[in-house]
Structure 1
């Protein structure tokens, strides 16, 4: 029987926020069974605890923001994605500012630190959310679906319609190995022409070629280019893993997204949890099987899978 995990030793990271540009230090500490992921704003007096759950989401513009008792913390998705994918069920995250460090724009630094710290099994069995009925949310030409599935898979489609990177489609069975090999190094991305507009509304003030893919006039501005084919759609999947971690439990199901983002991820998860007939809380009895990830070569394959 799989048991809940925490980390064996503390993890320390420092950097700057992608949107605020402010320096920040983050410490992840072990936690007991059933505690889940708790975030502490240690720079505030008194310290404010913000649970990593979807009902504490306060904003989803270009990042997922959580808030409680007048305090907030932004850009939590990369850290939460790494913790969820690598099987960390319980941890306390201490942060001395309002935004998680962007680091290199991916989840790879978090994965590296979790691997170094190692996992410690706890005495309580792991529980997971089993999708029993499909749940769908949509907005114009965007949609998100959570449907029953034996495992945890994500199918994602992006389409920038006439501008680079155009349309990209990707399917992956998500587990610790596939996340580390196929997803965690994918970086956040944006269009160079939008930077000044974003800075004017308090966003992207810490963005640079060191922590994001910059796109301009149909090309990647970063001198090193992309880290992998389909890096942009893979990063969207990375974000989705982090946003779905706000369920508070691993999910057994298939997430299918077309032209989504943080708000669509939040909406489909909230819709699921608001419908008790669509899910059940189960006790895990075996580890999730591993299926080789694959890239969609055409939109027709995505349409066929969605049905």
Structure 2
């Protein structure tokens, strides 16, 4: 639950409050809009936090270093506890596969599984140094803090320059994004497959809008916020 620090307006992080999902995930309620919530939600979901009150000011969450690691560290430093008498949310499990198709060959497939797993596959055939990237995460055997959380948002240098010229994306810099040139990385990657890992980070955060822990294997090909949240919306209705 996000809460505006000035007005007290509550903005539940659920799919029924979705706003724009073109380049980030936005939620709104009562005339209050909050953008770029996916990195914080990803951290909360990975830590198993399903009830939190987050006070915010301004229209967007801080970009920090472009990853979920700063949020994860703050949550861990604050500590996680249980409310007296709290009832654990029932995990959302599937009985049969669920497939969604998006634009430009993108897709997301959710399969029955004993616990949450995710796989992301990307392909950049016109960029020789990027090629194809795959990232996986298993909630039981993998460490989100070291394998997923540090992966940064990314963008091509030409796109960033165009956004800046239009007065957009002014918070983006070499310090908080993995910048991609036409022939090589402009900033050094933290992982060989950092793009796919960040897309997986976003996927976890977007699916948190379903409002329940997930017990399934999600396989996403060239995913984006719009496709991710479409799956979360379907899951929310189950």
Note if 1:194 corresponds to 2:156.
no
Count of residue correspondences: 234
Once the two structures are TM-superposed, the CA of residue 202 in structure 1 deviates from its matched residue by 5.5
Which shows bigger deviation, 158-167 or 60-69?
Answer: 158-167
Q: Name the CA distance, whole Å, in 2 between partners of 1:248 and 1:105.
A: 24
- Structure 1 segments of 4+ aligned residues over 6 angstroms from their partners: none
2:229 match: 266
Q: Name the CA distance, whole Å, in 2 between partners of 1:201 and 1:64.
A: 21
Matches within 5 A, 1:284-303: none
Once the two structures are TM-superposed, the CA of residue 174 in structure 1 deviates from its matched residue by 2.6
Instruction: Mark the CA change 1:177 to 1:124 in structure 2 (over 3 Å): closer, same or farther.
Output: farther
**Deviations 1:177-207, CA, capped at 9 Å, x for gaps:** 6211210000000000011333456642100
**Deviations 1:16-61, CA, capped at 9 Å, x for gaps:** xxxxxxxxxxxxxxxxxxxxxx111224xx3321100111111112
1:119 match: 80
1:130 corresponds, among 71, 75, 93, to: 93
**RMSD value over aligned CA atoms?**
1.7
2:25 match: 64
Note if 1:80 corresponds to 2:41.
yes
What SS is found at the alignment partner of 2:53? strand
1:299 match: none
2:113 match: 149
Show structure 2 runs of 5+ residues with no match: none
Contact 1:41-1:98 within 8 A present in 2 as well: no
1:244 match: 207
Q: Name the CA distance, whole Å, in 2 between partners of 1:176 and 1:208.
A: 34
Q: Name the CA distance, whole Å, in 2 between partners of 1:243 and 1:105.
A: 16
Note if 1:220 corresponds to 2:181.
no
Contact 1:61-1:263 within 8 A present in 2 as well: yes
Instruction: Mark the CA change 1:202 to 1:272 in structure 2 (over 3 Å): closer, same or farther.
Output: farther
TM-score w.r.t. length of structure 1: 0.72
1:39 match: 2
What SS is found at the alignment partner of 1:195? helix
Instruction: Mark the CA change 1:42 to 1:242 in structure 2 (over 3 Å): closer, same or farther.
Output: same
Contact 2:93-2:215 within 8 A present in 1 as well: yes
Once the two structures are TM-superposed, the CA of residue 172 in structure 1 deviates from its matched residue by 1.7
Q: Name the CA distance, whole Å, in 2 between partners of 1:145 and 1:199.
A: 35
1:95 match: 56
Q: Name the CA distance, whole Å, in 2 between partners of 1:175 and 1:57.
A: 29
Larger Rg: 1
Q: Name the CA distance, whole Å, in 1 between partners of 2:94 and 2:165.
A: 41
TM-score w.r.t. length of structure 2: 0.92
Show structure 1 runs of 5+ residues with no match: 1-37, 277-307
What SS is found at the alignment partner of 2:82? strand
Instruction: Mark the CA change 1:202 to 1:239 in structure 2 (over 3 Å): closer, same or farther.
Output: farther
Note if 1:232 corresponds to 2:195.
yes
Contact 1:86-1:176 within 8 A present in 2 as well: no
